């Protein structure tokens, strides 16, 4: 299969595998995938923390500004399903952000408490360049200890 044609589910499986590898030292991790069943989270730890894993590839979001014209904004976009937006659906959203379709580099990971996403719609973005514009969610980069200690 051509890597430029990866299915979304394949990208998600790569992200989930990465999260399992990061957390296996501290937890027994269980995947909750069951054929033809939907769960609002993807993984559960041995301490009953429910993790919703979102995987994305770096994208260009062209923007038009009245004063500055069109410019490029690079980042990762994530979408949560309506059942995932419910109050107690998961404890953390783990955003696994790859720079390319071939997953050749380690991803950036943002471990965001679900409660901090309540005010956002089902779609949210993390800009790739934290020195420009809003730095939303960058305080959560590599905060694995929040899952371990939280």
> What mean pLDDT comes out for the span 3-23?
78
CA distance 38 to 52: 12
Tell me the pTM.
0.83
Q: Tell me, what's the pLDDT at 86?
A: 81
CATH of domain 3-149: 3.40.1350.10
Strands (E), 114-148: 123-127
User: Measured between alpha carbons, how far is 37 from 74 in angstroms, rounded to an integer?
Assistant: 34
Q: Taking residues 50-61, report their average pLDDT.
A: 92
Distance from first CA to last CA of the chain, Å, rounded?
40
Mean confidence (pLDDT) of the chain: 84
In this predicted structure, the answer to whether residue 85 has a pLDDT above a threshold of 90 is no
Using the 8-state DSSP alphabet, how is residue 78 labeled?
E
């Amino acid at each position: 299969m051509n890597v430029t044609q990866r299915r979304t589910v394949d990208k998600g499986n790569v992200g989930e595998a990465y999260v399992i590898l990061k957390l296996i030292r501290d937890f027994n991790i269980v995947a909750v995938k069951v054929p033809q069943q939907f769960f609002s989270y993807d993984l559960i730890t041995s301490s009953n923390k429910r993790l919703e894993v979102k995987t994305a590839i770096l994208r260009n979001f062209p923007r038009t500004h009245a004063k500055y014209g069109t410019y490029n904004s690079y980042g990762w976009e994530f979408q949560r399903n309506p059942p995932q937006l419910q109050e107690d659906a998961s404890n953390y959203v783990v955003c696994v952000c790859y720079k390319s379709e071939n997953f050749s580099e380690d991803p950036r990971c943002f471990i965001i408490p679900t409660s901090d996403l309540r005010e956002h719609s089902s779609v949210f973005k993390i800009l790739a360049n934290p020195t420009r514009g809003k730095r939303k969610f960058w305080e959560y980069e590599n905060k694995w200890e929040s899952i371990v200690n939280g």
